[in-house]
Amino acid sequence: MPLKTKLGHSAGFWIGFCVVMALLIVAPLVLPEYWRRFLTEILIWGLLAMSSDILIGYTGMVSFGHSAFFGLGMYGAAAALLIISPPNLWLAILFGLGGAAGAALFVAYFSTRLRDIYFAITTLIFSQIFYVIIFTWTEVTGGENGLIFSRPHFTIPFLYDTRFSTATLYWFVLAVVGGSYVLLRRIMQSPFGMVLQSIRENEARTRAIGYPVERYKIVAVMLSGLFAGLAGVLYAVQNQFAAAEFVFFTTSGDTVIFNVMGGIGTLVGPIVGAGFFQLIRELLPRIFGDQFPYLIPLGVIFIVMIIFLPQGLLGFARRWLNR
Amino acid sequence: MDAVTHFFQSIPVDLLIIQTVNGVVTGMILALVASGLTLILGILDVVNFAHGELFMLGAYVGVLVLTATGSFWMALVLSALIVALLGAAIQIVTLRPLVGRDPLNTILTTFGISLILQNYALWQFGPVARKISEPITSHFNLFYLTYPWYRILIAVLSAAIIGGFWLFLKYGKYGVWIRATTQDRVMAQAMGIPVPMVHTAVFAIGAAMAAASGVLFAPLVGVSHTMGLDWVLKAFIVVVVGGMGNLGGSIAAAIFISLLEAYAAIWVDPSQAVIVSFVVLILTLLFRPTGLFAPTPK
């Protein structure tokens, strides 16, 4: 009987997943150019938020360092696109992942010895170290001005080579984000993911059972950093620049806000949160004028949600549907 | 051998002394900021991300009072009072409902508050930095520099505020309440201490200290909506290096880090000298995670 309910649950999930994916695939056909780009950005921010949820929601470590992984993914991609000609998309991804992995290894090695608040502060400080380096090392990183480069073509070696249009770029991003989602969901349901969740629930007990908690945490940070770096690469490809401001810790703060708004501890939640955040950020200035300080109402909504809706939008929707 | 003597001769002694004075001055301000943060952390268990924004708002309120009354000292006192009231309001509205929840919630909440305050300041006062003039303009000679007395005064005043606060904690009736609450919240409540009130008051005092340091420091750097960011980061480093929630350790760490940064600024760009404090933090976490200046836990 439990097996059957599990199967039923899983089938329901896949049906829902396919419906949402189908809607997202069709979306650019009906959306105008501007909103296509907007949706692409939401997907990219969603990937970043999802990656940080591995730490925040699943392992119980609030990371304020995701801007570093995101930014180094961005600058890694920039390096590949500027150095290697003709610019190659796959090399950009490889370089970006390399950059993010380097940063993640560094951050993971030091910060996973610490817990709770200490972890949050250390990750924040680490992202600031990367920020200062990138901001002041003008010859290599362009400093304040950042780096500008052209978008690579979409290539399958020896077979296919085409320029990205906004629609095809959207589909490419959707494929990457969708693939990452399926992969991360699989990982989080694997024994490895279960250990992470048990660290969140009771670290001391997990250690007592015999799991090397520190090693698991390092792998979690690495994994999270890699996917955040992937988001950085996508953002670089989409906008054709890399800028130091994305490494500043406010990007990490936004990522945390995406998580809380959408619902931590779920992989879909952060994407929903990112969409909600970006939509408010887009709509409020349209309604109230360009000068409107949209971050003030966003901050208020954020705090109200922490106090009254700790499960986020997704948790709220789920409870409401169950009623 | 020749190289060694050359190295020692090339050390600019006058510059070192100037930077020592500079380091102690910024260290004292940093200590004032960090002691407010330490207080809130030690007693409320709240990592106050909005502390830098309270510092910044304090400076802005100081600017407003100064243009209205023309008195710097009035600005200092009023700004501390107003921001203290604001702090109390913030604590009651956003932090009190979170008592008993996971402490990470409070980090997120104070982060949200900092977002709101910072953008409010940007919206209200605009992106252009405000200038505030020093109340004391006389100088004295320090080697080839004329060094403003005001900087020395800042260090002395910061020390006086921290010292006064320490005396209050040690001997004042309400200071004893605060210490009792830190040691055992439940027992303090049972002894008739109004713990929620104490928490609100502590947050207000921390906010007032941030505001006071904001006004004191404003003549040196100018007032802008982003001025809180750097300080809150540095104050976090100080709090961790000093040992979380340890007042004496925070002060020692504040001066230590400011001195190191001042010396580093002799050889590298000041924006890169910040890295020195980051390195101190990393080394501290590696070798003494409880903090450099905290007594070793048994």
Instruction: Please write the tens of the pLDDT for every residue from A155-198.
Output: 777 777 777 777 888 888 899 999 999 898 888 888 898 898 88
Q: How many CB pairs below 8 A link A and B?
A: 100
Instruction: Please write the tens of the pLDDT for every residue from B215-224.
Output: 888 888 888 8
Instruction: Please write the tens of the pLDDT for every residue from B234-262.
Output: 888 888 888 776 788 888 889 999 888 88
Which residue in B47, B109, B272 is closest to A306 by CB distance?
A: B109
Cα(B264)–Cα(B280) distance, rounded to whole angstroms? Answer: 12
Asked whether A210 and A48 are in contact (CB, 8 A), the reply is no
Predicted confidence at residue B151, as pLDDT, reads: 84
CA separation (Å) from B265 to A30, B59, B241, B271? 57, 26, 21, 8
CA separation (Å) from A197 to A192, A220, B15, B213? 9, 11, 54, 43
Per the DSSP assignment, residues forming a β-bridge with B277 are none
Does any CB of chain A come closer than 8 Å to the CB of residue B285? Answer: yes
Predicted confidence at residue A232, as pLDDT, reads: 92
**Beta carbons of B94 and A257 less than 8 Å apart:** no
Q: Long-range contacts for B91-99 (Cβ within 8 Å, ≥24 apart)?
A: B91/B44, B91/B199, B91/B200, B91/B203, B91/B204, B92/B200, B94/A303, B94/A307, B95/B44, B95/B46, B95/B199, B95/B203, B96/B196, B96/B199, B96/B200, B97/A307, B98/A306, B98/A307, B99/B196, B99/B199
Q: How confident is the model at residue B80 (pLDDT cuts 50, 70, 90)?
A: very high
Q: How confident is the model at residue A2 (pLDDT cuts 50, 70, 90)?
A: very low
Cα(B261)–Cα(B143) distance, rounded to whole angstroms? Answer: 21
**Beta carbons of B285 and A306 less than 8 Å apart:** no
Instruction: Please write the tens of the pLDDT for every residue from A226-269.
Output: 999 999 999 988 888 888 888 888 888 888 888 888 888 788 88
Q: What amino acid occupies position B175?
A: G
Partners of residue A120 in chain B, C-beta under 8 Å: 47, 104, 107
Structure token digits, residue B149: 């007395």
- Percent of chain B's residues with pLDDT above 90: 11
Structure token digits, residue A57: 């929601």
Predicted confidence at residue B89, as pLDDT, reads: 93
Q: Above 70 in pLDDT, residue B296? A: no
Predicted confidence at residue B79, as pLDDT, reads: 92
Predicted confidence at residue A8, as pLDDT, reads: 55
Predicted confidence at residue A69, as pLDDT, reads: 92
Partners of residue B97 in chain A, C-beta under 8 Å: 307
Work out whether strand A154-156 and strand A147-148 pair parallel, antiparallel, or are unpaired.
unpaired
Predicted confidence at residue A4, as pLDDT, reads: 46
Minimal C-alpha gap between A186 and chain B (Å): 27
DSSP B73-140: HHHHHHHHHHHHHHHHHHIIIIIGGGTTS-HHHHHHHHHHHHHHHHHHHHHHH-SSPBP---S---EE
- Percent of chain A's residues with pLDDT above 70: 97
Interface test with B, best of A257, A277, A280, A307 (most B CBs within 10 A): A307
Instruction: Please write the tens of the pLDDT for every residue from B152-200.
Output: 888 888 889 888 888 888 888 888 888 888 777 788 888 888 888 888 9
Predicted confidence at residue A306, as pLDDT, reads: 86
Predicted confidence at residue B298, as pLDDT, reads: 39
Instruction: Please write the tens of the pLDDT for every residue from A71-81.
Output: 999 998 888 88
Structure token digits, residue B226: 């982003």
Instruction: Please write the tens of the pLDDT for every residue from B115-141.
Output: 899 888 888 888 888 877 777 777 777
- Residue owning tokens 């590298």: B268
**Beta carbons of B119 and A295 less than 8 Å apart:** yes
Q: Average pLDDT in the A272-295 region?
A: 84
Instruction: Please write the tens of the pLDDT for every residue from B94-111.
Output: 888 888 787 778 888 888
Asked whether B206 and B37 are in contact (CB, 8 A), the reply is yes
Q: Above 70 in pLDDT, residue B9? A: no
Partners of residue B122 in chain A, C-beta under 8 Å: 293
Q: Is A87 helix (H, G, I), strand (E, B) or coil?
A: coil
Predicted confidence at residue A47, as pLDDT, reads: 92
CA separation (Å) from A297 to A301, A303, B117, B184? 6, 10, 11, 37
Q: Is B36 exposed, middle or buried (0-12, 13-18, 19+ CB in 10 A)?
A: buried
- Residue owning tokens 């879909």: A268
Cα(A116)–Cα(A114) distance, rounded to whole angstroms? Answer: 7
**Beta carbons of A296 and B119 less than 8 Å apart:** yes
Predicted confidence at residue B45, as pLDDT, reads: 81
**Beta carbons of B289 and A117 less than 8 Å apart:** no
Q: Between residues A261 and B297, which one has the greater pLDDT?
A: A261
Asked whether B90 and B203 are in contact (CB, 8 A), the reply is yes
Minimal C-alpha gap between B46 and chain A (Å): 9
Q: How confident is the model at residue A44 (pLDDT cuts 50, 70, 90)?
A: very high
Q: Above 50 in pLDDT, residue A3? A: no
CA separation (Å) from A314 to A20, A271, B86, B195? 15, 10, 33, 35
Give the residue among A32, A83, A43, A8 at the shortest CA–CA distance from A238: A43
